[in-house]
């Protein structure tokens, strides 16, 4: 059976939206009429056969990441309570308030009822279920521990969602302060300063260097400000587009980012935490190491680190230990490599990967807190210095006139 989205009118004339399953759209309309609903529109639930999503951060085209993590936890609880996959999907469809989630779950349920495995059904929606999600589900189906592994997966998704929200909340205040300060400075330079400086120009007095520089900046912004605004709005998207289209340019850019004093260490720690946590949940779920490594490539944000991981995968496929393969590129933190080596030697790779993920996440939180703690006072000092220069540029001619009068 297939899943269909419908819009219908009830007996009171109110519009009703939902998802139902039927062999054809005609049978779906018949089911609606049996429920005393007048169908307005019945369309099949669309599938997204596109490329895979980059990781746990997003669940595009129908199911946001917070909804996916919530549904995953509810799904694990239902399976642990003894419900079958079909029954649990039905309960999730009835429980969910998100229309896109209901449509996707109904499509997955229809695939399962048609005889496909759950992994195959989820693979029909790669934009919603990232590679790690499908790999863990596949391992759960084979091992019979689907409920336990879904619970671990929910913890993984919620942890990354919490990390993302924490970073966004931490950046919100500096971004707001920077935006307001820049707007205030632009307003002073383009509107207030010219009116004050006109008085000095009429006096035909030789102006100080600082005042002449401020006048030049003011005139430049007033004559070319619109073009600068257009450039500021189009340059970042254009640069990102160029990076996506040119792999060599992207590789050089990511390589330079890793060499920056503070940002480079932060990016390396971020991707190391992603790698360790992804490998931990997949290895503990019984996923083969090579499959786990191939899947983990999708969660790395830096192309240089991804290339290093690809080289490590080739070495592991040739028989090299994982820690030695990761150490060849000398980009991943030594503590991560040594903990993996300890796990391989003792046969507790999954547990050591969990510890490494926890350590890297703690390091990431510490670095983020230090960076934000330094950024906020530095921002205040810079903005205060700019305002002080503007005030001095206005006051210096007044001081000179006052000295001449006396």
Give the position of tokens 């290895």.
283
Confidence of residue 47 (pLDDT cuts 50, 70, 90): very low
- Residue 289 and residue 317 in one domain: yes
pLDDT for 72: 92
Q: Which of 160, 195, 221 is the last residue of a domain?
A: 160
The phi and psi torsions of 208 (rounded to 5 degrees) equal: -65, 160
Confidence category of residue 62, pLDDT binned at 50, 70, 90: low
Task: Examine the domain organization and report whether 71 and 156 are in the same domain.
Answer: yes
Is residue 234 one of the residues assigned to a domain? Answer: yes
Looking at the fold, whether 148 and 186 belong to one and the same domain comes out as: no
Residues 197 and 150 in one domain: no
Out of 118, 136, 160, a domain closes at 160
Residue with tokens 């509107």: 191
Residue 55 is predicted with a pLDDT of 42
40 and 8 share one domain: yes
Residue 39: domain span: 2-44
Which token pair is 100? 């896109």
Asked if residue 317 belongs to a domain, the reply is: yes
268 and 363 fall within a common domain: yes
Q: What is residue 404's predicted lDDT score, i.e. its pLDDT? A: 65
Considering only CA atoms, which of 334, 273, 329 is closest in space to residue 301?
273
Query: Is residue 6 classed as helix, strand or coil in its secondary structure?
Result: strand
Q: Are residues 239 and 370 in the same domain?
A: yes
Segment 177-187, tens digit of pLDDT: 888 888 888 88
In order of 82, 100, 149, 286, 384, the CA distances from 143 in angstroms are 16, 30, 10, 8, 62
Q: Tell me whether residue 60 is in a domain.
A: no
Assess if residue 202 is contained within a domain. Answer: yes
* 127 and 184 together in one domain: no
What CATH number corresponds to the domain at position 354? 1.20.81.30
Domain shared by 18 and 130, yes or no = no
- pTM for this structure? 0.69
Q: Does 50 map to a domain?
A: no
């Amino acid at each position: 059976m297939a899943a269909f989205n419908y819009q219908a009118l009830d007996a009171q004339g109110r519009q009703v939206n939902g998802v139902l399953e039927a062999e054809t759209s005609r049978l779906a309309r018949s089911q609606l009429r049996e429920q005393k609903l007048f169908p307005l529109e019945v369309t099949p639930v669309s599938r997204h056969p596109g490329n895979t999503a980059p990781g746990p951060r997003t669940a595009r085209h129908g199911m946001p990441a917070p909804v996916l993590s919530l549904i995953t936890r509810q799904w694990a609880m239902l399976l642990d309570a003894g419900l079958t996959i079909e029954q649990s999907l039905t309960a999730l469809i009835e429980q969910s308030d998100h229309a896109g989630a209901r449509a996707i779950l109904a499509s997955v349920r229809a695939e399962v009822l048609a005889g496909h495995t759950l992994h195959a059904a989820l693979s029909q929606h790669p934009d919603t279920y990232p590679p790690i999600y499908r790999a863990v589900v596949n391992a759960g189906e084979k091992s019979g521990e689907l409920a336990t592994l879904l619970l671990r997966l929910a913890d993984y998704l919620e942890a990354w969602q919490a990390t993302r929200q924490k970073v966004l909340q931490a950046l919100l205040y500096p971004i707001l302060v920077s935006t307001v300060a820049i707007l205030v400075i632009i307003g002073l330079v383009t509107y207030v300063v010219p009116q004050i400086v006109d008085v000095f120009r009429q006096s035909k007095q030789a102006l100080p260097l600082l005042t002449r520089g401020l006048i030049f900046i003011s005139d430049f912004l007033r004559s070319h400000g619109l073009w600068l605004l257009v450039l500021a709005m189009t340059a970042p998207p254009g640069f990102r587009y160029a990076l996506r289209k040119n792999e060599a340019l992207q590789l050089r850019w990511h390589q330079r980012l890793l060499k920056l004093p503070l940002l480079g260490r932060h990016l390396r720690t971020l991707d190391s935490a992603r790698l360790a946590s992804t490998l931990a949940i997949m290895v503990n779920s019984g996923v083969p190491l090579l499959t786990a490594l191939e899947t983990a490539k999708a969660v790395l944000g830096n192309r240089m680190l991804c290339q290093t991981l690809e080289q490590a995968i080739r070495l592991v496929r040739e028989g090299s230990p994982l820690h030695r393969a990761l150490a060849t590129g000398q980009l991943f933190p030594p503590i991560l490599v040594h903990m993996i080596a300890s796990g391989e030697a003792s046969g507790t790779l999954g547990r050591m990967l969990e510890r490494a993920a926890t350590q890297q996440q703690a390091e990431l939180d510490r670095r983020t807190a230090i960076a934000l703690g330094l950024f906020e006072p530095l921002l205040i000092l810079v903005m205060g210095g700019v305002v002080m220069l503007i005030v001095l540029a206005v006051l210096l001619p007044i001081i000179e006139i006052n000295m001449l009068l006396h």
